[in-house]
Amino acid sequence: MSLLLLLPLFFITFCVFFKFIWIPLRIQLHFRQQGIRGPTYRPIFGNSAQIRRRMIVEAESSRPISFNHDGVVQRVMPHFHNWSKAYGDPFLYWFGSKPRLAVSDPDLIKEILVSKSGSFGKIRFNPVSKVLFGEGLVALEGEKWILHRRITTQAFNMERIKEWVPEIVDSTRNMMSKWDAKIGANGSEFEFDVHKEFHDLSADIISRTAFGSNFEEGKRIFELQERQVMLVLQALRNVYIPGFKYIPTEKNRLRWKLEKETTELITKVIEKNENTKQNPNTLLAFLMRPYKKDDTLTHEEIVSECKTFYFAGKETTANLLTWVFLLLGLHQEWQNKTREEVVRVFGDNVFPCVDNLAELKTVSMILNETLRLYPPAVMMMRQASENVKLGGRLDIPAGTQLFLAMTAVHHDPRIWGEDANEFNPMRFSEPRNHLASFFPFGLGPRVCVGQNLAMVEAKIVLAMIVRRYTFVVSHSYVHAPMQSLTMQPQYVFFKLVWNPLRIQRHFRQQGIRGPSYHPIFGNSIQIRRRMIVEAESSCLNSFNHDGVVQRVMPHFHNWSKVYGDLFLYWFGSTPRLAVSDPDLIKEILVNNSGSFGKIQATPDTRVFFGGLMGMEGEKWIEWIPEMVDSTRNMMSKWDAKIGANGSEFEFDVHKEFHDLAADIISRTAFGSSFEEGKRIFELQQRQVMLVLQGLRNVYIPGFNYVPTKMNRLRWKLEKETTELIRKLIEKNKHRKQNSQTLPALLMSPYKKDDVIPLDDILSECKTFYFIGKEAPAHFLTWTFLLLGRHQEWQNKAREEVVRVCGANAFPSVENLAELKIVRMILNETLRLYPPAGLMMRRVTENVKLGGRLDIPAGTELFLAMTAVHHDVGTWGEDANEFNPMRFAEPRNHLASFFPFGLGARVCVGQNLTMVEAKTVLAMIVRQYSFTISPSYVHAPMLSLTLQPQYGAQITFSKRS
């Protein structure tokens, strides 16, 4: 029995040994005997880990290169660059257990690509990467490839491409119209990322010419393919394990989802073409029309070809145009020659016509030189389908993959001369002698079928733009070519290193300094680990409030001492300008131009900040009886404690006021009670720490989808909260009562078409549940702490309540406005301990602030509310003391006191908070006197709101 078990095990072990060790070592020895060396084979994964981890990552995270193009090969093919230096050309390396022969000899490349014997075929696609191209022309072999090639060659013949020229012109004209609008808005010059512009343009052109639609109709397909690119790129850089694509990993599930939606959308495009019978000259129409009687593509094959053309038709031309304009922006003399040729060839015609495109000789030279320096594909791959002799001397075993180093050939000084790494279109003034020294679209029978369209499109776009505009490369551009699936400019370095340094310099030239930028995380680690943790681990020695700023905004407190009140720091790669000048704050918050918007919440922090809290002033008044009732219930519990404990009792008012505010918001906003909403408050309390971590850490795009322990908890809490609030909304909808509750008001349209979607109502309710509890609870806590400390103001408040409310034990709607001293006390509390502690805004466009500061778009503005509220220059020498008399008269400066914000985005719930605070304070101060307990520790802490870190212990006694 044991022998029967051992035999299969021995057989499997032998097969693994034979496939992953014996055969590779034998092939490695075979090549070494022919003088071909390379990095040593490593079982199973070969050299793939070295390529991926060390070389590609190192190259793409390295410093940018100079714009004389001599570092292109090193950046886009780092493994070839390193190993060719070490082992010569050709050399052998391993991708998994597959041998790859790297070739950069034009004679050998020509022999491989032009061969018609079938000895060199396409390498098999990693099954995971097929989502982008399907079973289209790019992946096919044999008879199927011949059929597809025959049909697509006819579809892309030159006569048909000429019929598409008006569509190309029209798309380009639309893009230029948008540019002209920018000139009208910004003056004679404007700067933008042409890479994005040309991607959108190419997408529109391929949508029109190939599918008879436009960019907007195909936008979702392009978005899906953009997301698929990263998945495909990861798959191409990793060794594929057979069967892995069927395992429901997170990436595979995403891959299946994207593939399904892409296929469905393309199917709809195909059906639309079939039904309308329009645009007979589109590529799609030609694919659906049989070339001969039996030359018909199946529906699945048409879908696969459409995927290929949607992707390749956009990427190739967009990247070509990007590189062309960067090169002409750098080489003004060639830009001028291009312009002169376009004017000479087309004369008075503003737009190019088909007949004389062939006359654009200089344009052709420039495009070819661009393709030489920055070819779309950077390399090509083939596989020996049988044992073959290459170049009359090299014995290549069947199954060997051939890495054809196109970019290295295009930059080789032995072929192109000493100026091989310089931009010199004159080298294409005459035909090339060697066919395989320049092959950006391939060679032989598998040459790119769409090359004519790409060249015609590039000529037309270049001719139209160069005639109307002059252009230069912006100082902000960083030269960092990167190989994705095509060669394109890499902007990650620009965003994470170069751009921050440029912005830092921009501010320093205006006299604004700050802590130095640290790549990727900025100063966030200093703020989080050193300053906040250190501040929250200490307590204030006294209750005179002069250490509040240091505790709740330690980074502002420390850096403002070193760099001044206006300084720059970094949260990730985003610049933050810290502002505490009331004049500048007023300009930012009261501005109605849209230049200063809200910063965008990350997916980690949206749980509380999705809604607007969108109700208006007079609604709150109708809720006062509910506030009175909730407060009365709380005080009844206190009275019960007095009966049990004597005339005095002590407890943590922070917790009491949280429960009270929760009950009030449940009754007033949702027509329920604290007990009904208790689970929602518990869930939100657990979410607070997760959101706080999200706010203090730099968000990495996509990280919220990774199933970490925290993310799984976040998803679980969010799901349960949403379900509970949804039930509450349904309950409100069915019973048709409490028409003044928040869900009822949100669900009843203000005008006929002003209906709020359910998701927005859910967001509003989440926000209201959280803010409607947190803000009043902390506000009341600080008020009672201050009045417990300052008995004279407690007495004044009590006297005013008795005088205004008379014999009524509870305040009424009519006399709340008469509580002047109470209002002064509440305002002074909000000054010393504002609920939010700070405010954030984001600059949406380049703007001049205060008539002198140039603020770049994207800069975040940290408005140091607590610092302004404690500023001795604004409030006098007693700024850190409790003195409600400073609010006896209206403030002269609007932005010296803004606990609820200012301008259009002022907190819409401030009236509710103030009414609730007045009502509760009036009821309690009338029936109780209170002092701060000796056990209280003064330690203000900024969580999502400003609150006491260790609670608020107060001793109460019942008044007779």
The pLDDT assigned to 616 comes to 38
- Considering Cα of 341, then 347, then 351, then 354, what sign does the dihedral take? negative
Checking if the pLDDT of 611 tops 50, the result is no
Cβ distance 844 to 836 under 8 Å?
no
For 384, the enclosing helix (H) or strand (E) is strand 380-384
Length of the chain: 960
Mean pLDDT, residues 41-47 taken together: 86
The pLDDT assigned to 121 comes to 84
Task: Please count the CA atoms within 13 angstroms of the CA of 81 that sit on its side-chain side.
Answer: 16
The pLDDT assigned to 685 comes to 74
Checking if the pLDDT of 892 tops 90, the result is no
Give Cα separations from 952 to 357, 613, 773, 788 (angstroms). Answer: 81, 28, 17, 11
The pLDDT assigned to 353 comes to 80
Checking if the pLDDT of 120 tops 50, the result is yes
Tally of CB atoms within 10 A around 427:
18
φ, ψ for residue 512 (rounded to 5)? -100, 115
The residue ranges of every structural domain in the chain are 56-490, 595-694+733-836+899-958
Q: Which of 125-134, 717-726, 783-792 comes out lowest in average pLDDT?
A: 125-134
Tally of CB atoms within 10 A around 65:
16
What lies within 8 Å, CB to CB, of 807 at 6+ separation is none
φ, ψ for residue 475 (rounded to 5)? -65, -20
Closest CA to 695 of 833, 836, 578: 836
DSSP 704-720: GGS--HHHHHHHHHHHH
Question: Using a CB cutoff of 8 Å and minimum separation of 24, what contacts does 448-451 make?
Answer: 448/316, 449/137, 449/149, 449/152, 449/153, 449/156, 450/156, 450/309, 450/312, 450/313, 450/316
The pLDDT assigned to 663 comes to 80
User: Identity (one letter) of the amino acid at 561?
Assistant: K
Residue pLDDT, tens place only, 456-508: 999 999 999 998 888 888 766 777 676 666 676 664 333 434 457 678 888 99
Percentage, residues of the chain above pLDDT 70: 76
Quote the CA–CA distance of 922 and 547 in Å, as a whole number. Answer: 30
φ, ψ for residue 377 (rounded to 5)? -95, -10
Q: How confident is the model at residue 955 (pLDDT cuts 50, 70, 90)?
A: very high
Asked, colleague to colleague, whether 56-490 and 595-694+733-836+899-958 share their fold, the answer is: yes
What lies within 8 Å, CB to CB, of 724 at 6+ separation is 679, 680, 683
Question: Using a CB cutoff of 8 Å and minimum separation of 24, what contacts does 738-746 make?
Answer: 738/671, 740/619, 740/622, 740/623, 741/668, 741/669, 741/670, 741/671, 742/615, 742/669, 742/670, 742/768, 743/670, 744/671, 745/615, 745/619, 746/614
The pLDDT assigned to 491 comes to 45
Looking up tokens 């008269």 gives: 889
Q: How confident is the model at residue 577 (pLDDT cuts 50, 70, 90)?
A: very high
Mean pLDDT comparison of 279-283, 312-316, 587-591, highest-scoring range: 587-591
Quote the CA–CA distance of 122 and 401 in Å, as a whole number. Answer: 9
Mean pLDDT, residues 373-380 taken together: 88
The runs of H, that is alpha helices, within 187-249 are 194-211, 215-237
Joined tokens for residue 931 = 């002092």
Q: Which of 217-221, 339-343, 546-550, 735-739 comes out lowest in average pLDDT?
A: 735-739
Mean pLDDT, residues 62-84 taken together: 77
Quote the CA–CA distance of 125 and 240 in Å, as a whole number. Answer: 10
What lies within 8 Å, CB to CB, of 773 at 6+ separation is 658, 661, 662, 665, 681
Residue pLDDT, tens place only, 854-883: 998 889 999 999 999 999 989 999 999 999
The pLDDT assigned to 496 comes to 37
pLDDT averaged over every residue in the chain: 80
Q: How confident is the model at residue 832 (pLDDT cuts 50, 70, 90)?
A: very high
Bigger pLDDT: 242 vs 620 = 242
Looking up tokens 């990552």 gives: 57
Q: How far is CA 539 from its chain centroid?
A: 38
Q: How confident is the model at residue 618 (pLDDT cuts 50, 70, 90)?
A: very low
Mean pLDDT, residues 896-910 taken together: 84
The DSSP code for 12 is H
Burial of 732 (0-12, 13-18, 19+ CB in 10 A): buried
The pLDDT assigned to 224 comes to 76
Fold (CATH) for 56-490: Cytochrome p450 (1.10.630)
Residue 483's SS3 state is strand
Percentage, residues of the chain above pLDDT 90: 27
Burial of 777 (0-12, 13-18, 19+ CB in 10 A): buried
3-state secondary structure 753-774: CCCCCHHHHHHHHHHHHHHHHH
Mean pLDDT, residues 194-216 taken together: 81
Closest CA to 875 of 861, 860, 885, 862: 885
Q: Which of 316-330, 652-666, 827-841 comes out lowest in average pLDDT?
A: 652-666
Closest CA to 366 of 465, 220, 227, 258: 465
Extract the annotated binding site for heme: 448
- Region of 82 please: left (phi>0), alpha (psi -120 to 50) or beta: alpha
Cβ distance 156 to 452 under 8 Å?
yes
Give Cα separations from 564 to 512, 525, 581, 863, 927 (angstroms). Answer: 8, 21, 11, 14, 48
Looking up tokens 């006819």 gives: 154
Closest CA to 454 of 339, 324, 569, 554: 324
Joined tokens for residue 255 = 């891959």
Bigger pLDDT: 274 vs 390 = 390
Span 595-694+733-836+899-958 CATH architecture: Orthogonal Bundle (1.10)
The pLDDT assigned to 186 comes to 47
Checking if the pLDDT of 619 tops 50, the result is no
Closest CA to 507 of 853, 862, 847, 861: 853
For 730, the enclosing helix (H) or strand (E) is helix 709-735
Quote the CA–CA distance of 811 and 818 in Å, as a whole number. Answer: 11
Q: How far is CA 569 from its chain centroid?
A: 21
The pLDDT assigned to 608 comes to 52
Q: How, if at all, do strands 860-863 and 574-579 pair?
A: parallel
Quote the CA–CA distance of 513 and 521 in Å, as a whole number. Answer: 18
Q: What is the number of helices (H) and of strands (E) in the chain?
A: 39, 21
Residue pLDDT, tens place only, 720-775: 877 877 777 777 666 555 456 666 666 665 455 555 666 666 667 777 767 777 88
Q: How confident is the model at residue 612 (pLDDT cuts 50, 70, 90)?
A: very low
Tally of CB atoms within 10 A around 340:
12
Residue pLDDT, tens place only, 924-946: 999 999 999 999 988 888 777 78
Joined tokens for residue 478 = 């960083």
The pLDDT assigned to 844 comes to 81
φ, ψ for residue 418 (rounded to 5)? -65, -25
Can you give the pTM of this predicted structure? 0.55
Mean pLDDT, residues 171-182 taken together: 86
Mean pLDDT comparison of 655-659, 797-801, 907-911, highest-scoring range: 797-801
Extract the annotated binding site: 448
Residue pLDDT, tens place only, 323-358: 999 899 889 999 999 999 999 998 877 778 887 888
For 840, the enclosing helix (H) or strand (E) is strand 839-843
Task: Give the N- to C-terminal CA distance of the chain in Å, as an integer.
Answer: 94
